[in-house]
Structure 1
Amino acid sequence: MIKAIKIYLFLTALCCATGLQLYAQTSLVIKEGELWYGGAVNEAHLMPFKDGYSLDMHGDTRGNQAVPLLVSTKGRFIWSEEPFKFAFEKNRLLISQTKSAVTIDSTGKNLKEAFSIASKRFFPSKNKLPDTLLFSKPQYNTWIELVYNQNQVDILNYARAIIDNGFPPGVLMIDDNWADYYGRFDFRADRFTDAKAMVDTLHQLGFKVMLWVSPFVSPDTEVFRELLAKKLLLLDNGGDAGLQWEKAEKPAIIPWWNGYSSVVDFTNPDAKKWFLGRLEHMVNTYHLDGFKFDAGDAEFYPPNGLAFKKVSPNEHSRLWGEIGLSFPLNEYRAMWKMGGEPLVQRLRDKKHNWEDLQKLIPHLVTAGLMGYQFTCPDMIGGGEYGSFIGKDKLDEQLVVRSAQCSALMPMMQFSAAPWRVLSKQNLAAVKKAVDVRARYTPYLMEQVKNSAASGQPIARSMEYEFPNQGFAEVQGQFMLGSKYLIAPVLTNGSTKTVYLPKGAWKDDLGKKIKGPVAITIEVALDRLPVFERINP
C-alpha cells in the first residue's frame, strides 16, 4: 500500500476573455477518530476542526499567522505552496480552489510525526535565533499606556517606572504614531525633542529598543509622491484585470485600521531596497535595535492591486516577512509561509476579557504546530485597545491570570502598566509570575535553542507531546518542552482542572502525583501551577 501520495492538481484556464479558471477538488475520507488542525492560527480555538468548518486561505490569513498546512492526529498532513480552500463535511475533508500542487502525506502515525515530516520537508528550521533578549526577559510595549500619543517624555517615564517598580529591563517597543506620517522615517519633532538621546538613555537603563513600522505610506505626502513616481507602490488596475504594470499610473489606496494609505510593493526589488534603506537610516541615526513589523496582512493586497510581479495576496504577506530577516530584533503580527525562520510572531490582539484569555494557549501551541516556534502571546491583560475604552477600572484578577498564562510561554509582553492598574497585592502576584519565569529561564533558553535546530515547538499542545492519549480537545494547559506541564487558571475563579498523562509528576508545591489522572485544584491568585514530569 502506498502511504505517501502526491497529487498534482493541474489548473485549467478557460479560453475566454473573463479569464475564469477551473480548479480540481479532492475529497479525503477522515479516518476513525482522526482530528485535524492547521491553516490560520487565529482560528485555533476552533480546533480540532468540527463538521461544517471551512476556510478559503486565498487573501485571508485571519489577521494573524497562516500556513497552507493541515495536520492530523493520525499522522497525515496536507501541504501546498499556494493558498487553498478546505472544508469539513461529515466524514470528509474537501480541498478545493487549489492553485499549485497539493501534497497529501500519510507516512506519520500521529500529530507530532505529521508535523515533523512536513516541517523538515517544506519549512525546515534555519537554526537561527531572533535576539535572545526577547526570550530571556519580559518585553514592554508602549501601546496601551500611550496609544497614539507616543512621545519622548512619557516613553522615558514608562521605562523608569518599569525599573522603579521592580521589573527587569528587557526589550522596549515604541508603538504607532512616532512619525509625522506613514512612510516618513524620522521621529516627529513636536513629540521627540531628541530621539537619539532618548534611545541612548533607554540603553543606559538596560533596554533594547524596537520601533513600530508598517508597509503603508500616507497619500499626498512628499514620500508618497517620490515612491509613486518610481512605481514602488502597489498600483490600481482600475478594474481592468488585463492592465499591464508598465501602463498603470494610479496607486492602490488601501483601507486599514488607521484610515486609507498606499502600500509599498515588495515584489519590486527596488521597493525592498528603499524600505530596508529607511530602516537602516533609523538604526544609524537614532541607535535603534530593531523593529515591530505590523500589518502586512494578505487582505491589504486587494484584487484591484497591480504589483511589479504578479503574486497572490498571501505572497505579498510573505515578502513583508522577508524584511525582518535583516533584523534579529523583530516582531510580526501577520505572516504567511515563513515557518522555520528566525522571526518572532505575536498573536493577534486580544480583548480585555476572559474569553480571549482562554484563546492564548490554543493559538500559541497551534502557531508552533505551523512552524512559528518563536511566538509571543498578546500583551498581558489584552492588547486590543478598544476593549479598554470606557473602563475606569480593569479586571485585576484577569491581569494577574494573564501574566501567569504568559509567564512560561516563549515570551511575555507587558503594555498596560501593572503598577498603575493593580492593587499592591495583585501587583505582587504579577511580579511573582515574572520571578517564576526567571526561575525557569535556563530551561526555557535550552528549548529555544533546541527549537531553532530541530524546528520542534517550544510550547506544545498536549496532543503533540502525548499523542493518541485523549488530549486532543484539551486547551487549558500546555507543555514547555517535554518536561513541564503549565496549567494557568483562565477563568474568573480559583479552581482548575488539570489533566496529567501517565507517569509520575511533581507539582510546584512539591506534591507527587501519579498519572493518568484528572485533578481539580484550588489555585491561589499568586500561583501558577507547574507540573514537572519526573518519570517519562
Structure 2
Amino acid sequence: MSDAVGAPRALNDPHRSRLAALPRRTAGFVLALVAGLVFTLLAAPPAHANTLDGVWHNPYGADELYATQPTERSPRDPMAGDNVTVRATTWPVAPGQSVWVTWSVNGVAQTPRGASWDYNSGNNTYWKLDLGSFARGDVVEYTVHADVNGGGQRSSGPFSFTTTSWSTVTDVTSVVDNGTSVDIVTGDSAGDFTPKVRFAFPRLDGFDVQIAPTGAGLELSGLPDYTVTDGASQVEIATDELVLRIDKNPYRLSVYEGDGTTLITRQYDPAVFRNIGWASDGETTVTRIEDHFLTPTGERFEGFGERYDRLDHRGTDVHNYVYNQYQDQGATRRTYYSVPYFANSAGYGIHVPSTRYAIFNLATHLDDMAGFTVDTGGALDSTLTYQFFTGDQTEMLDDFTAETGRPLLPPKWAFGLWGSANEWNNQAEVEAWLDQVESSGIPHSVLVLEQWSDEATFYLWKDAQYTPTDGSTPLQYDDLTFPSGGAWSDPKQMIAEAHAQNVKVLLWQIPVLKENFTSNPATAPQQHLNDKAYAQAQGYLVDDGAGQPYRIPTGQWFGDSTVPDFTDAEATDWWMDKRRYLVEELGVDGFKTDGSEALFGRDLIVSDGRRGDEMHNAYPNEYTSAYNDFVQETTGADGTIFSRAGTSGGQSESIFWAGDQASTFGAFQEAVRAGQSAGQSGVPFWAWDLGGFTGSFPSAELYLRSTAQAVFSPIMQYHSEKADPSPSEARTPWNVQARTGNTTVVPTFARYANVRMNLVPYLYTEADDSATTGVPMMRAMSLAFPDDPDAAQYDQQYMFGSQLLVAPITNQGQTVKDVYLPAGEWYDFWNGGRASGEGVKMYDAGPDGIPVYARAGAVIPLNLNDAYEVGGTIGNDVESYDNLVFRVYPSGESSYEYFEDQANAHRRIDVSADRAARTVEVSAPALTTASTFQVSGTKPDTVTVAGSALPEVNSVSALAASTEAWYWDAKQQLTYVKVGASTGERTILLLGVDKAGYEAEFAGHTAVSTNADHPGYTGLGFVDGFANAGDAVEFDVWAEENGAHQLRFRYGNGAATPATRTIRVDGAPLGTLSLPPTGSWSSWGTASIDVTLPPGRHAVRIEYAGGDSGGVNLDNLVLAR
C-alpha cells in the first residue's frame, strides 16, 4: 500500500487529534466524547480554493472489533453477495475537490467510479462510494484518487481483496485410521477441495477435532486406544468411555457415552443448515472455519472467560476478543479476559485453542443451533482445531486446565486483605496508611501502589534524581537520590516498614513505551528517550508489519505509544532488568500488571512470527508470562502478579481482577457474575475492587455489603481511581466512615477483615485444590450442583470452595435475601441455625450481614483467637495460626483434605456420625501444630482421643490454657476438642451425642416472639409468648436415616401445672405432648415423642391447638434416633 504526499502520519485518521496517554481509567470517557464529535457535521469554513493536501483510505482501519474508522472499507473482508463500500477522507476542506476509484475485477479494468460527499468534520472532508457485490473468487483491486478542480491529484492505494463464500462438507468418501488418529474424508459442496476431519483421543473421555478444508495441514494425534468400525451408512469410533458415530450421507457427528446409547450431543442437521463449513475463494485462501451443533431448548452455555452480564449465554453471540472496556462491561458485553471455552449443561464442553477472533452463535441464527466461527489468518492450508470434553463442569475443568495450564497457586499472603488507592502517590500518604492500619487493628496483607513511578519509564520513582544511562544499562537503587520535597524520600525504607508490619508491596506496571507527554511529567525524561531509542534500534518492539514500530491507535489508552515484544527473549530480559532493582534491592513482592489489550491490526508482527490477528488476544498472556517468570525467579516463588487481561492459559501465570467498575449496586452484581464466570473458565484466583473504584463515592450500605461479599472472594481488595481528589476518595474503611458519617463502617469492616483472616486455612486449602484440579474457589451454582436445574438460575449466590454456600445481598435497600438451598441440610455459618433444601430460604441479614451456609458433613479449617471468636481480633500472620480449628458438621460419612502447607502435606479428616449409636467419630490427622475440632451436636457424655478419656473444662479460657481437653459451647452447640501436635492419626470419639438441636428462635413462628431473658438456653435465645390458642412453632428438619426417631423438645415451664401441645409432622397429627413444670422459667426440661421418618426433609409443628393448655418457653428441638 502506498500513500500520497501529505498522507497522515502513523497510519491514523488525520481528523483525529492525538490524545496524550490519559490518566488511568479516564480514556474511555474521552474516547466516547471524541467518537461523538467525529460524526457531528461541522460547518467549517473552507480553506483556500484549489487546495488538496492528501487523500486517505485504510481498508481495515484499526482492525478493532467494536469500533470503525470513517475511512474503512465495509465490510473489511467481503464475501460473495456483500455490498462493498469504500470510505475515504481528503484534507483540508476546500471547494472543487473530487474523489474517485480506479479498479479492476480479476485483472479486468472497470469503469472508474466517483465517490459522493458524505460530510465535513474539522479539517477533513469524508467521502464514500459503493463498489457493488461480487462473486466467490473475484479478486478486486482498487486505488482511491482525489483532485481539486482537475489538478493536484493525490492517491491512496492500491488495495485489494479476494471474495469468499461458504462451503461445507458433504458425503463421507473414505475413512483412514492412522493408528493415533482417524481421518474422515468428505466431499466439498463447492467442488474445490477434498476436506478431511481428523479425530484424536488425548484421553478416553474426550477427543480433539481438526477440520482441514483442503485436506492439508493435519497434525493431531492422540492415544491408540480406540476402535474404528466402517459401516455402510455410518462410521463408529469408540473408546471405553465414548462412542462417536458419523453418518456418511451426509456427514454428521453424534457423540454418545461409553454405553453407545446415551446421546451427549450431535452436530446440526445439514439438511437445515451446514454443520462444518469454511469461507474460501476456492483457490487461494481459507479465511474462516466453523462448526455447529444441535442444542435443544433449555441447554445452558457457560464459561467464555470473565463475563459480567450473565452466566448462561444461550440466545446471544459471544465474541472471543479481549478489550479494555472502562466500566459498563455488562451492558456492552465486553471483557478483558476472554476464553474460547464453554461448558454445556448436557455434559460436554468445547475449547477452541486459537487466539484469533472467534464468534460463538448460541441459538441466535437458529433457536436450536449453536456453533462457533473462527478466523484462520487466510492461509490456504488453514485448519481449525477444537477440544471436546465430557463430564460435569468440575471434571471438564480438570481436563481443560490440564491442557491449557494449571492455575498458579498464589503465595499464602495473597489471601489476606489488599489495600490500594491511586491517591497514595507519595511516601507521606503511604506511611499515613500504614500507621492507620496499625492503629485500627484491621489486618491487611498487601499494599498496591499505582502512582509510584515517574509516569514515563514506569520503573523509576517519581522525583528521583539520577544520571541517565544509555538505553542498554539498567539503573540501580544507589544511582537514585531522593530530594527533599519530592514524592518519595526513601522508598526502600518505606517498603521495609511495610514488611515489618507483615504487609507485602506490589507496584503498578503498563506494557508501553509512552509517547505523549502533557503533564505528570510534561516532557519525556531523557532516560525514557534513551530507552525508546535503544529498544527500537535493537528490534525489541512490536513491528507494524512495514518495518516500523507498531503504535497503539490514537485515542486508545496510551495512544501512539510503542509496545515491547515479550515474545522476544532478549527484549524481555532487557525490560525486566530495568525493574530488577525493585525486587532484588527494595524487596518489592510483585507487580500489578495492568493493560495489554492494545494490539490492533492484522499486519503487525512479533518476534516469533505471529501476526496481529493472533496477537490481539495472545499479547496479554505473553505479558503476564514474562512478568510472572521474572517475579518467580527474583522472589524465590514467593511473589505474585495481579493482572487484568488474558485468555486461555492465563490462569497459570497470575491472579486476575475484574477491571474498572463503578461504585453502584449494578456493578456489584456484575462483579459477582464475573467472578463465577471466570471460575467456570479456568480462572480460580480472581478479585474485584470491593465497593467499586470509580464514579460516585460508595454509600456505607454498598461498601459494607460488598465488603461482606469480598470476604468470600478468592482475593479481597479495595481500590479507588482518582489521583489527587479532595476530599479523599480512598475506599479505606476509616475514610468511608468519615465520608458517609456512618459510624458502623469501621467496626463492621474490622469484623469482616478478621473473618477473612479466620478463613485463611480454608482459603489456602481450597486454593491448593484449585491449583491442582482447575476447579474454582468461587463456584457457580450450576457448576456445584449440575443435577439441580433450579440452582442454575441463581447467579447472585455461589459455593465458596467445596464447603460454604454464600449468598451476598447485592440489591440496594434489601435486608432479606431469598437463598436457594440445594437438597440436603445446611448450617448457618454464623450461628448454627439450619435450613433444608431443595428450595428457597428467606434469610434476614440485617443492614450488614451476609447469608453463609455450611453443607451437612462439612469440615472447615479456621484460624481463631484464644476466645475462639469468628470475627474476633486476630493478626495478619498467615505463616502460623493462633488456634488451628476444624469446624465439623457431622452427617453420615464425610471427609476433607486439609492442606498443611508448613509440611507441604495433605491431611485427610474423616467424619462418621452414627445417630442410632449416638456417636460421632473424627479422625485427627498427623499435624505439626496443636488443633481444636469444633463438632456440631448436643453435649456428649464422654470424649475420647485414641481410646483415652479427655478431661472436660467449663470455659473457653480454660480450654485455651489446656494442652488437651474438651468443652461444650451451649450457644453454638459445638463440642471443642483440643489435641496436641502428632506424627500419627488419632481417633476422636464423642459418645452419647445427638445431632445438634434445631433452635426455636430460627424456626417458623405463628403469633409468638423470641427472647433471651432467662439463662440456660442454647443458641441465641428462645421462643417466648407461646401461651395462646393458635400459637405455633414449625421446625424444618432433616432425617439422615430411615426409621424410628424421637422428637425431643427442650422447654421451660415455670407454672405449677403441666402444659400440652399438639405435634404435627408433615401436616399430619402425631399426638399430644405433655410438658411438665420445670420448677422455674430459668430451668429447662425435655419432653419427647416418637415418630418414624423416611430420610429427607420434614416439617415438625408444635402448636397450641384446641384442648391444649398452659404457657411455655421453647428452646430447641433435637431429632434423635
Is 2:308 aligned against 1:26? no
- Measured after TM superposition, the shift of residue 413 of structure 1 is 0.5
What residue in structure 1 maps to residue 822 of structure 2?
501
Is 2:311 aligned against 1:47? yes
Is 2:418 aligned against 1:139? yes
What residue in structure 2 maps to residue 103 of structure 1?
386
Which of 361, 383, 398 lines up with 2:702 in the alignment? 398
In structure 2, relative to structure 1, the CA distance for the partners of 1:289 and 1:277 (3 Å cut) is same
What residue in structure 1 maps to residue 482 of structure 2?
none
Q: Is the 8 A contact 1:340 1:452 kept in 2?
A: no
Q: Is the 8 A contact 2:305 2:341 kept in 1?
A: no
CA offset digits 1:407-447 (Å, max 9, x no partner): 11111012311101122212222222212222322212211
What residue in structure 2 maps to residue 442 of structure 1?
761
- Which deviates the most, 111-120 or 267-276? 111-120
Is 2:817 aligned against 1:527? no
- Measured after TM superposition, the shift of residue 124 of structure 1 is 4.3
Structure 1 gaps of 5+ residues are 238-242
Which of 606, 611, 621 lines up with 1:318 in the alignment? 621
Which of 108, 132, 152 lines up with 2:427 in the alignment? 152
Query: Structure 2 CA distance, aligned partners of 1:230 and 1:499?
Result: 59
Query: Structure 2 CA distance, aligned partners of 1:183 and 1:395?
Result: 34
Query: Structure 2 CA distance, aligned partners of 1:250 and 1:488?
Result: 48
Which of 226, 235, 239 lines up with 2:543 in the alignment? 235
Larger Rg: 2
In structure 2, relative to structure 1, the CA distance for the partners of 1:15 and 1:461 (3 Å cut) is closer
Query: Structure 2 CA distance, aligned partners of 1:462 and 1:437?
Result: 22
Is 2:371 aligned against 1:94? yes
- Measured after TM superposition, the shift of residue 250 of structure 1 is 4.1
Letter in 2 for 1:294: D
Which of 395, 402, 419 lines up with 1:113 in the alignment? 395
Q: Is the 8 A contact 1:283 1:289 kept in 2?
A: yes
In structure 2, relative to structure 1, the CA distance for the partners of 1:231 and 1:14 (3 Å cut) is farther
Is 2:331 aligned against 1:10? no
CA offset digits 1:72-103 (Å, max 9, x no partner): 11221111221422112211112112435332
- Measured after TM superposition, the shift of residue 174 of structure 1 is 0.5
* Paired positions, count: 508
In structure 2, relative to structure 1, the CA distance for the partners of 1:287 and 1:440 (3 Å cut) is closer
Which of 487, 492, 508 lines up with 1:196 in the alignment? 492
Q: Is the 8 A contact 1:459 1:481 kept in 2?
A: yes
- Measured after TM superposition, the shift of residue 479 of structure 1 is 0.7
Query: Structure 1 CA distance, aligned partners of 2:488 and 2:706?
Result: 33
Query: Structure 2 CA distance, aligned partners of 1:166 and 1:359?
Result: 31
Letter in 2 for 1:26: D
Which of 423, 427, 439 lines up with 1:164 in the alignment? 439
Query: Structure 2 CA distance, aligned partners of 1:317 and 1:261?
Result: 17
CA offset digits 1:243-285 (Å, max 9, x no partner): 4xxxx13442445435542111112221111122122222123
What residue in structure 1 maps to residue 359 of structure 2?
85
Q: Is the 8 A contact 1:186 1:282 kept in 2?
A: no
CA offset digits 1:445-504 (Å, max 9, x no partner): 211122222222112111111113022221111112221101111111212110000011
Q: Is the 8 A contact 1:321 1:338 kept in 2?
A: no
Letter in 1 for 2:315: D
Which of 320, 333, 352 lines up with 2:663 in the alignment? 352
- Measured after TM superposition, the shift of residue 141 of structure 1 is 1.2
Query: Structure 1 CA distance, aligned partners of 2:444 and 2:320?
Result: 42
Query: Structure 2 CA distance, aligned partners of 1:138 and 1:59?
Result: 28
Query: Structure 1 CA distance, aligned partners of 2:617 and 2:409?
Result: 24
Letter in 2 for 1:484: L
What residue in structure 2 maps to residue 365 of structure 1?
676
Secondary structure of 2:316's aligned partner: coil
- Measured after TM superposition, the shift of residue 207 of structure 1 is 1.1
Which of 276, 293, 299 lines up with 2:576 in the alignment? 276
CA offset digits 1:287-312 (Å, max 9, x no partner): 21111111112x43433533223321
Letter in 1 for 2:302: Y
Q: Is the 8 A contact 1:180 1:188 kept in 2?
A: no
Q: Is the 8 A contact 2:206 2:390 kept in 1?
A: yes
Q: Is the 8 A contact 1:73 1:468 kept in 2?
A: no
- Which deviates the most, 353-362 or 26-35? 26-35
In structure 2, relative to structure 1, the CA distance for the partners of 1:10 and 1:156 (3 Å cut) is farther
What residue in structure 1 maps to residue 404 of structure 2?
123
Q: Is the 8 A contact 1:23 1:96 kept in 2?
A: yes
Q: Is the 8 A contact 1:365 1:460 kept in 2?
A: yes
Secondary structure of 1:173's aligned partner: strand
CA offset digits 1:294-338 (Å, max 9, x no partner): 1112x4343353322332122222111212322232111111222
- Which deviates the most, 343-352 or 319-328? 319-328
Structure 2 gaps of 5+ residues are 1-198, 200-204, 215-278, 326-333, 377-382, 465-485, 516-523, 632-638, 720-730, 858-890, 892-1121
In structure 2, relative to structure 1, the CA distance for the partners of 1:211 and 1:59 (3 Å cut) is closer
Q: Is the 8 A contact 1:266 1:320 kept in 2?
A: yes
CA offset digits 1:133-169 (Å, max 9, x no partner): 011x1011122xx0xx611111221222122222113
Query: Structure 2 CA distance, aligned partners of 1:263 and 1:269?
Result: 15
Secondary structure of 1:249's aligned partner: coil
Query: Structure 1 CA distance, aligned partners of 2:755 and 2:499?
Result: 25
Letter in 2 for 1:429: T
Mapping 1:454-473, distance limit 5 Å? 454-470=773-789, 471-473=791-793
In structure 2, relative to structure 1, the CA distance for the partners of 1:178 and 1:275 (3 Å cut) is same
More helix by percentage = 1
Query: Structure 2 CA distance, aligned partners of 1:181 and 1:341?
Result: 29
Query: Structure 1 CA distance, aligned partners of 2:705 and 2:592?
Result: 26
Which structure is higher in RCO with an 8 Å CA cutoff and minimum separation 6?
Answer: 1
Is 2:833 aligned against 1:511? yes
Query: Structure 1 CA distance, aligned partners of 2:549 and 2:644?
Result: 29
What residue in structure 2 maps to residue 333 of structure 1?
644
Secondary structure of 2:607's aligned partner: coil
In structure 2, relative to structure 1, the CA distance for the partners of 1:367 and 1:58 (3 Å cut) is closer
- Measured after TM superposition, the shift of residue 344 of structure 1 is 0.8
CA offset digits 1:34-58 (Å, max 9, x no partner): 20012231x2432201313332438
Secondary structure of 1:424's aligned partner: coil
Letter in 1 for 2:493: A
What residue in structure 1 maps to residue 476 of structure 2?
none
In structure 2, relative to structure 1, the CA distance for the partners of 1:504 and 1:150 (3 Å cut) is same
The alignment's C-alpha RMSD in Å is 2.6
- Measured after TM superposition, the shift of residue 232 of structure 1 is 0.9
Query: Structure 2 CA distance, aligned partners of 1:130 and 1:262?
Result: 31
Is 2:652 aligned against 1:380? no
In structure 2, relative to structure 1, the CA distance for the partners of 1:290 and 1:107 (3 Å cut) is closer
- Measured after TM superposition, the shift of residue 113 of structure 1 is 3.1
What residue in structure 2 maps to residue 452 of structure 1?
771
Q: Is the 8 A contact 2:781 2:797 kept in 1?
A: yes
Identity among equivalent positions (%) equals: 21
In structure 2, relative to structure 1, the CA distance for the partners of 1:224 and 1:339 (3 Å cut) is closer
What residue in structure 2 maps to residue 70 of structure 1?
342
Secondary structure of 2:652's aligned partner: coil
In structure 2, relative to structure 1, the CA distance for the partners of 1:260 and 1:183 (3 Å cut) is farther
What residue in structure 1 maps to residue 588 of structure 2?
288
Query: Structure 1 CA distance, aligned partners of 2:782 and 2:758?
Result: 26
Q: Is the 8 A contact 1:339 1:370 kept in 2?
A: no
